[in-house]
């Protein structure tokens, strides 16, 4: 059997960095905005959430 070097660094378990998570989500978010009605729908939903939260 061939000799292989042992792994020196283990991959850290845990959560991803917030910027990595954001970079993963942005393409899907942009696609959903285009498919489901554009920015107007996003603004309408955001204002509705603001009203519900008492802003």
Segments making up each domain of the chain, as ranges: 18-52
Query: What is the Cβ-side half-sphere exposure of residue 41, based on CA atoms within 13 angstroms?
Result: 9
Give percent of the chain with pLDDT exceeding 70.
89
Residue the block writes with tokens 């603001």: 50
CA 40 to chain centre: 21
Note whether 47 and 54 are within 8 A (CB): no
Which pTM was predicted? 0.39
* 46 vs 55: CA distance, rounded Å: 11
- Give start and end residues of each alpha helix (H) in the chain: 18-35, 39-52
Provide the pLDDT for residue 48: 92
pLDDT digits (tens, 9 = 90+) for 12-38: 667 778 898 888 888 988 888 888 777
């Amino acid at each position: 059997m061939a000799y292989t070097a042992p792994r020196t660094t283990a991959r850290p378990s845990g959560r991803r960095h917030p910027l990595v998570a954001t970079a993963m989500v942005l393409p899907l978010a942009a696609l959903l905005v285009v498919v489901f009605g554009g920015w107007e729908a996003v603004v309408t939903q955001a204002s509705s959430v603001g009203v519900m939260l008492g802003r």
